[in-house]
């Protein structure tokens, strides 16, 4: 068990699937009390049951993270249930509509930015009142697309939102250091999850298909996409006391995919 996690409280967004789900299972296994946040989804309930079966303490909150009022209520409910919050894993996100810039509809651009970037801001904003007395850790799931921008076409809205998360994480790390709240961004490469369900390629994408040498998801280390459990390990490390000097950084977890 990693130091500093047992009996502490975590809020995990996007916890019904993929990286968020794997992190929820691992953190609960490490003795954290976990609040699982996601849109209304049967998979959220399944994750909850799996944690309960293993003896963990868990609550679920079904909200859209881009809804400020609901996010605020989710953090209040968690604090009311268990007291102070130690970890926020701001992880929920979508690929959204993929289109060339000239064909990208404003509403589609706005939606991706709204979930990925505004949602991250809201989760951090509403967590602070419940974290600032004791300090803690905030981990934000960005992507290799946020700074190295290697994979995928038509992903300007997505990549912009992921880059925004990196800037936000660094500014937040500086601002929240006075509360002993650490803020770090993680940048996964391709990971096997259900994110395809929230990806909407358009026919116009064909216009910008350029041949690339390496197919997306090719990672020199393993020659295949990573697993959500591998990302969860990094989250647990950043939540725990053994990373207590790490803040304001971006950590790549991509088997060197973004260096190709």
Residue numbers of the site for ligand NAD (CB under 6 A)?
A: 13-14, 16-20, 38-39, 41, 64-66, 91-94, 115, 119, 141, 143, 188, 190-191, 193-195, 197-198
Min CB(75)–ligand NAD separation in Å: 14
When the beta carbons of 4 and 144 are compared against ligand NAD, the nearer one is: 144
Chain centre distance of CA 233 = 13
When the beta carbons of 60 and 190 are compared against ligand NAD, the nearer one is: 190
- Active-site choice (158, 173, 182, 218): 158
When the beta carbons of 4 and 139 are compared against ligand NAD, the nearer one is: 139
Min CB(136)–ligand NAD separation in Å: 20
Min CB(93)–ligand NAD separation in Å: 2
**72-76: Cβ within 8 A, 24+ apart:** 72/122, 72/126, 74/11, 74/35, 74/37, 74/126, 75/11, 75/126, 75/127, 75/129, 75/130, 76/130
Residue 179 appears among annotated catalytic residues: no
Q: Where are the beta strands (DSSP E) in the chain?
A: 9-13, 33-38, 58-62, 87-90, 96-98, 136-141, 181-188, 199-201, 250-253
Report the catalytic residues: 158
């Amino acid at each position: 068990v990693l130091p500093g996690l047992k009996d502490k409280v975590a809020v995990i967004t996007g916890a019904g699937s993929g990286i968020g789900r794997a992190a929820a299972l691992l953190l609960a296994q490490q003795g954290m009390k976990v609040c699982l946040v996601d849109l209304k989804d049967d998979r959220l309930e399944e994750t909850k049951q799996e944690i309960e079966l293993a003896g963990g303490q868990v609550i679920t909150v079904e909200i859209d993270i881009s809804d400020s009022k609901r996010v605020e209520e989710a953090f209040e409910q968690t604090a009311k249930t268990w007291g102070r919050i130690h970890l926020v894993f701001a992880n929920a996100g979508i690929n959204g509509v993929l289109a060339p810039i000239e064909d990208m509809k404003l509403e589609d651009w706005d939606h991706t930015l709204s979930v990925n970037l505004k949602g991250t801001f809201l989760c951090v904003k509403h967590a602070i009142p419940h974290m600032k007395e004791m300090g803690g850790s905030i981990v934000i799931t960005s992507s290799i697309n946020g700074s190295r921008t290697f994979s995928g076409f038509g992903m300007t809205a997505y990549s912009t939102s992921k880059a925004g998360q990196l800037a936000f994480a660094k500014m937040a790390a500086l601002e929240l250091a006075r509360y002993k709240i650490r803020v770090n961004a993680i940048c996964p490469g391709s990971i096997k999850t259900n994110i395809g369900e929230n990806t909407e390629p358009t026919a116009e994408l064909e216009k910008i298909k350029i041949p690339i040498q390496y197919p997306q998801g090719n990672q020199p280390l393993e020659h295949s996409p990573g697993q959500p459990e591998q990302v969860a390990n990094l989250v647990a490390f950043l939540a725990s006391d053994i990373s207590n000097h790490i803040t304001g950084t971006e950590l790549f977890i991509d088997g060197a995919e973004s260096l190709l």
